[in-house]
Amino acid sequence: MKKITIGITDCSRYENYQKWIEAEKAVEVIRLSHHQNNIEEIKKCHGVLLTGGEDVHPRFYDRNEYLELCHEVDERRDEFEWKVMDYTEENRIPLLGICRGLQVANVYFGGTLLPHIPAFGKFDHSKTGTDDRYHRVQVDPNSVLKQIVGRADGEVNSAHHQAADRVGKELVASALSADGIVEGLERQDRNDKGFLLLVQWHPERMKDQDNLFSKKIKGKFIAAVRQSRP
């Protein structure tokens, strides 16, 4: 089995993602850090995982008035991950985006975000105290996500106060919550494009790692990276 290298973007809970990915055989990871600005390290990566964390600064989707509804922002991280997206798109590198990863990718493709979900009349999707919230999602029966998990619905964890609003160009929603929040995004047209899967939940820390919305997500991402490796 060929060894693959996966770049994981830096965040306060980086180790969670690192352990989740390194549990697979013949996998090593590289910490792609906006703190170190080591974007050149991405050239060693066969796949990339965009992690959760700070809110995307609303200037990146022309909604500066939303800044007061944001919790924490780090424009250095936004700019760094923009470069990550540039590289993965130009080189057809498989990419998995989790939570903020979905949001930054949606903005990259020209979409916008809801800066604070409850302020827009939706259910609260943030944590309950220190624990992730859990809720069900509906999966598009024609989506790649449906092919991956093999289910029309399922239970996922939730710990976010922002979400995709207008979906970016070339993307389509693959899963929704009961109140219409986008829970998954993927490409509309996959021809001549790299693997791209974006989920709003946190598969790396779901209580049940055998849950198909965790286990199958990671498995498909790893398989896509192996398949694309030269």
Exposed, middle or buried by CB within 10 Å (0-12, 13-18, 19+), for 20?
Answer: buried
d(CA 193, CA 91): 9
d(CA 114, CA 85): 21
Rg (CA), the chain: 16
Q: What is the pLDDT of residues 9-56, one digit of tens each?
A: 999 999 999 999 999 999 999 999 999 999 999 999 999 999 999 999
- Residues in Cβ contact with 6 at an 8 Å cutoff, skipping those fewer than 6 apart: 21, 27, 28, 29, 30, 45, 46, 47, 48, 49, 225
- Residues in Cβ contact with 2 at an 8 Å cutoff, skipping those fewer than 6 apart: 26, 226, 229
Q: What is the pLDDT of residues 180-199, one digit of tens each?
A: 999 999 999 988 899 999 99
Catalytic residue among 99, 125, 161, 186: 99
54 catalytic, yes or no?
Answer: no
99 catalytic, yes or no?
Answer: yes
With beta carbons less than 8 A apart as the criterion, state whether 148 and 183 touch.
no
Exposed, middle or buried by CB within 10 Å (0-12, 13-18, 19+), for 150?
Answer: exposed
Check residue 230 and give its pLDDT: 87
Is residue 1 pLDDT above 90, yes or no? no
Q: What is the pLDDT of residues 116-157, one digit of tens each?
A: 999 999 999 999 999 999 999 999 999 999 999 999 999 999
Catalytic residue among 116, 125, 160, 202: 202
With beta carbons less than 8 A apart as the criterion, state whether 4 and 49 touch.
no
Q: What is the pLDDT of residues 201-217, one digit of tens each?
A: 999 999 999 999 999 99
Neighbour-count burial for 197-207, b at 16+ CB within 10 Å, e otherwise: bbbbbbbbbbe
Reported confidence tier of residue 2, pLDDT bands at 50, 70, 90: confident
183 catalytic, yes or no?
Answer: no
User: How many helices (DSSP H) and strands (DSSP E) are in the chain?
Assistant: 5, 11
d(CA 77, CA 64): 17
> What is the pairing mode between strands 47-50 and 95-98?
parallel
Catalytic residue among 81, 183, 186, 204: 204
d(CA 107, CA 28): 29
Q: Which domains does the chain have, with CATH numbers?
A: 4-228 (3.40.50.880)
